[in-house]
């Protein structure tokens, strides 16, 4: 995360300044206070015709354009197989932007598109037809980039994982990843490589992919992206922990009983049956998204927000996590219920599929801060509520002093960070109920982002793209952390006793009963998902 992106100032709650853009330079007033446009570069998007480009990358680039954070020298080349005119490609992207902007439930809801801002951006975009596994397109890219005065280029692999190796190999073969010294000052153009997950499917494949990439590029050039880390509410975890003296003193095993991290969805696999059959909920979510949330909650304080300082702390944390065993994990698959059809009835899903759509895990971190504190992770499709949150439960206070009162239980003190769809925090605690006797009642203190800060259209990739252009790798994953994450789950992915059982759960429920039993063994229970007030 860039230093500018982390700045907190009095203007942070103000409405973002509107800006009128044309195909020429940005006006001097464009851009949030304290932020400067990223350096000029050529952004090459492999997979320009895909859903990722349409739904996430283009809206993010548009938002960066509106904020004045893209340099006038910015150029974007979209590479995809299939002949197509640039105008047709841009018309398609523009229509999608309009649809997303009008969707009140979407993250990109802006009401309408600023035509000047879209014109500024689209006038810098070009479509290039070509196959990812042939040399012609890479030679063309080399010629285009060599003609730029700055020589800066970012290659974004918005493609299926099977294309990672061939694209990287040809980028290396044609010298497109070589950072040459252009003027004798050592400040030649940068070359960066952005890779989406899945970054491997297990430890062996992740090591193989890392080795292949690092034969053609240095680790400092590789930006392994996890869109969860682009969410403001995820980045805010570090601010909540380290910018407030009230939290850090109790953020340790002496005071914390357990932590629950939930990423539940009400939707099924929709049109992703082919992908899900090969991947499953565990691979799709646990070693990346949920582990990244765990790292933000549990890492030791870095000395600064310098990229390597933060990533070193993450690496230390992953090294301290005890490898999971089949006894620590529960898999589930949604069956027909009130909320929809069964997974096996979805398109492109085998009728006898044993793929999990739900995964729960119990994780222990063997270090001085967290030894003995269980972290419970769960993720699932077709659950009773859409919710991504982190609930930190403090240890119960001694009950002896209340023995002669009507009090029969105390509400656990729980600090919850809400990431999606609600954005904010809340704290559950106990107070005395007014009256002549000592009765304890539950109370809650809550903070919602919308009550303090102006709403901004943000799909989660804006900060990640901006930081990549700046060369700030704080929010991107390093090779050692990727491999450590897969190492933690390798015994679950390749169990000695055969495949793990997959338990059924009704669509629209909270998951399989066996997941409840996972916590019950420790005398604990999942936080309720069905409570609409939570």
Q: Kindly list the catalytic residues.
A: 289
- Name the burial class of residue 533, with classes exposed (0-12), middle (13-18) and buried (19+) by CB atoms within 10 angstroms of its CB: exposed
Residue with the two structure tokens 């730029």: 148
**b/e burial code for range 317-345 (CB count within 10 A of at least 16 → b):** bbebbeebebebbbbbbbbbbebbebbbe
> What is the spatial distance between Cα 71 and Cα 38, in angstroms, rounded to a whole number?
6
Strands annotated E in 97-178: 125-129, 153-157
The order of strands in the sheet holding 424-432 is 440-448, 424-432, 414-420, 387-394, 256-264, 374-380, 358-364, 329-335, 502-506
Query: Roughly what angle, to the nearest 10 degrees, separates helices 479-493 and 307-320?
Result: 20
Phi, psi of 432 (to 5 degrees): -80, 135
Total count of residues recorded for the chain = 534
> What is the spatial distance between Cα 417 and Cα 190, in angstroms, rounded to a whole number?
37
Any residues with CB less than 8 A from the CB of 415 and at least 6 apart, and which?
247, 391, 392, 394, 425, 426, 427
> What is the spatial distance between Cα 291 and Cα 288, in angstroms, rounded to a whole number?
5
Strands annotated E in 435-529: 440-448, 502-506
Tokens coding 399: 């009950």
């Amino acid at each position: 995360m860039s230093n500018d992106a982390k700045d907190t100032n009095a203007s942070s709650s103000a409405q973002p300044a509107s800006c009128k853009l044309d195909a020429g330079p940005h006006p001097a007033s464009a851009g949030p206070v304290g932020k400067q446009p990223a350096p000029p570069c050529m952004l090459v998007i492999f997979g320009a015709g895909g859903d990722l480009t349409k739904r996430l990358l283009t809206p993010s680039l548009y938002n960066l354009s509106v904020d004045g954070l893209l340099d006038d020298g910015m150029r974007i080349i979209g590479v995809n197989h299939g002949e197509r005119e640039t105008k047709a490609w841009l018309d398609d992207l523009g229509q999608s932007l309009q649809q997303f902007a009008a969707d009140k439930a979407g993250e990109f809801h802006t009401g309408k598109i600023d035509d000047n801002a879209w014109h500024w951006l689209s006038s810098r975009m070009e479509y290039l037809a070509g196959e990812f596994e042939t040399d012609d397109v890479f030679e063309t890219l080399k010629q285009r980039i060599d003609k730029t005065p700055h020589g800066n280029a970012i290659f974004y692999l918005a493609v299926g994982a099977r294309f990672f190796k061939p694209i990287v190999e040809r980028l290396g073969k044609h010298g497109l990843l070589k950072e040459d010294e252009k003027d004798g000052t050592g400040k030649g153009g940068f070359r960066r490589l952005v890779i989406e997950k899945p970054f491997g499917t297990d430890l062996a494949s992740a090591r193989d992919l890392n080795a292949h990439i690092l034969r053609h590029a240095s680790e400092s050039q590789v930006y392994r992206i996890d869109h969860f880390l682009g969410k403001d509410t995820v980045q805010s975890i570090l601010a909540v922990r380290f910018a407030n003296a009230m939290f850090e003193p109790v953020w340790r095993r002496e005071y914390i009983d357990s932590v629950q991290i939930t990423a539940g969805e009400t939707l099924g696999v929709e049109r992703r049956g082919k992908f899900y059959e090969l991947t499953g909920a565990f691979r799709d979510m646990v070693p990346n998204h949920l582990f990244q949330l765990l790292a933000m909650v549990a890492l030791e304080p870095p000395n600064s927000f310098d990229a390597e300082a933060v990533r070193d702390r993450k690496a230390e944390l992953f090294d301290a996590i005890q490898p999971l065993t089949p006894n620590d994990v529960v898999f589930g698959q949604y069956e027909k219920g009130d909320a929809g059809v069964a997974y096996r009835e979805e398109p492109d899903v085998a009728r006898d599929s044993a793929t999990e759509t739900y995964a729960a895990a119990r994780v222990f971190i063997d270090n001085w801060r967290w030894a003995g504190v269980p972290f419970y992770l769960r993720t699932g499709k077709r659950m009773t509520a859409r919710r991504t949150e982190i609930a930190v439960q403090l240890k119960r206070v001694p009950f002896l002093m209340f023995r002669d009162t009507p009090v029969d239980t105390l509400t656990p003190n729980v600090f919850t960070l809400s990431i999606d769809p609600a954005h904010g925090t809340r704290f559950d605690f106990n107070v005395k109920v007014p009256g002549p006797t000592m009765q304890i009642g539950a109370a809650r203190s809550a903070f919602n982002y919308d009550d303090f800060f102006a709403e901004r259209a943000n799909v989660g990739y804006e900060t990640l793209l901006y930081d990549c252009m700046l060369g700030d790798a704080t929010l991107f994953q390093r090779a050692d952390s990727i491999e450590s994450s897969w190492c933690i789950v390798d015994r679950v992915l390749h169990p000695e006793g055969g495949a793990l059982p997959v338990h059924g759960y009704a669509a629209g429920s909270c998951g399989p009963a066996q997941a409840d039993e996972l916590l019950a063994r420790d005398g604990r229970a999942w936080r309720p998902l069905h409570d609409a007030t939570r």
